Structures are given as C-alpha cells and as structure tokens.
Amino acid sequence: MWHRLLMFGLVFVCGCGSIPTAPNADLTDTELVYVNDTWGFQVSRPTSDWGLSAQTFLQQVYPNGLPVVEVHIASPLNETLGAAFRPEFFLEPRAGSTGVDIDALANAFEESELKVLFEGYEAQGDKQKTQLSQGELVQWQFRNSPFSAQSNRFPGTRFMAGIAVHKDQFYIMVGNGSNNTGFPIDDYRLIAESLRFPVGN
C-alpha cells in the first residue's frame, strides 16, 4: 500500500494491521467493468487486453465505516519494449464530506501528497475539469525530474493525476508511464471518465 498522508484532516481508523483480502466485487458480464458494491462505484477497462486487480483492506476503515480499497488497471503487456515496469492506472476511494470543493481537493492532493511522493514534481499544463454522469472529475498531467529518485510505488517520469467527487466521497487517481514504457494518457482519461455510481448510490 502506498504512502498515505493525513490529507486535510481526512484520516482513517487502523486496526491491528492491514490484511489484504480477495476483491469483494466481480467483473460484470461485459468483463470490462469492475463494480464495487461496498463503495457503490464502477470503473471500466479500455479493452480486455488491460489487466485488473482490486484489493480490500478490511482492518483499515475511513470515518464513514468503509474499508480501504485499491484498484489497479494495468496496461497491455508489450514484451518488445523490454520495459522495467508495466504502466498502470491506480484508483482509491476515500471518505469526504458533502459539498466539498473539488478544486480545493485537487490542490490539496497535489500539494500534500503528490509533491511529497514524487521528487521534482512539475505540473504539465492546466487542470481539466469534466462533468461525470453523477459527479465531477479534475485531471492533469505532471512529470518528475529525471535526476530525482523514482517512486517505488509509481515508477516512471510521466504521470496523470485525477480527483473525482461524488456526494460525500472522493476518488484519487494516478497513472504512470515513461518514454521507454509508453504513457497511455488517452486510455487513462477513458478509465477516469468511465467512473460511474449506480442508481441509489
């Protein structure tokens, strides 16, 4: 589990330790959509060539009583590149509060976590806001210095970051890549914009 900071007062309650469990949600009949009934969200892979895994940590819960969940969507294997790592899209839901400002969340995520995790963090362009079917999404790109140590959790030199808000929940997103491994930014955007919240959630 990647390094967590106490971001703007939103802390989760830890048990005796983190115990990874099997995913508590299955792919739908389309085999491209991951559905998490506990948090009430779903997200889609671009194609069946993309890998998908999810992990629930039952002994780590947020103030809303829901457990920590991490979703990883890995880019298609490309053995010809001989890459040191496989670019992937990471998503994690977190507890928030109703009516929170998404721009403030995005800035806090950037300042309190990304700039700490990635040495030589440098934003590339402006943040882009998108209206989801039920919620909002802010996404942007950044790089880290090629002379800085790479993150063990998110190796690479080119990255996409995102924050989505739905009611009293928000979702953090990170996608990594590099010139050698590729940087599937268009696919990352499709994944981020596929985030949905079924009726009733």
Q: Where are the domains of the chain?
A: 7-193
Interatomic CA distance for residues 85 and 2, integer angstroms: 16
Q: What one-character-per-residue DSSP string does 75-124 give?
A: PPP-GGGT-SS--EEEEEEEE--TT--HHHHHHHHIIIIIHHHSTT-EEE
Q: Write down the pLDDT at residue 18.
A: 29
What are the φ/ψ torsions at residue 71 (nearest 5 degrees)?
Answer: -115, 130
Q: Write down the pLDDT at residue 199.
A: 63
> Which residues in the chain come in under a pLDDT of 50?
1-29
The three-point CA angle 191-25-36 to 5° equals 50
- Span between the terminal Cα atoms of the chain, in Å: 26
Q: Write down the pLDDT at residue 15.
A: 33
Q: Write down the pLDDT at residue 10.
A: 36
64, 95 Cβ separation under 8 angstroms: yes
- Fold assignment, 7-193: Protein Transport Mog1p; Chain A (3.40.1000)
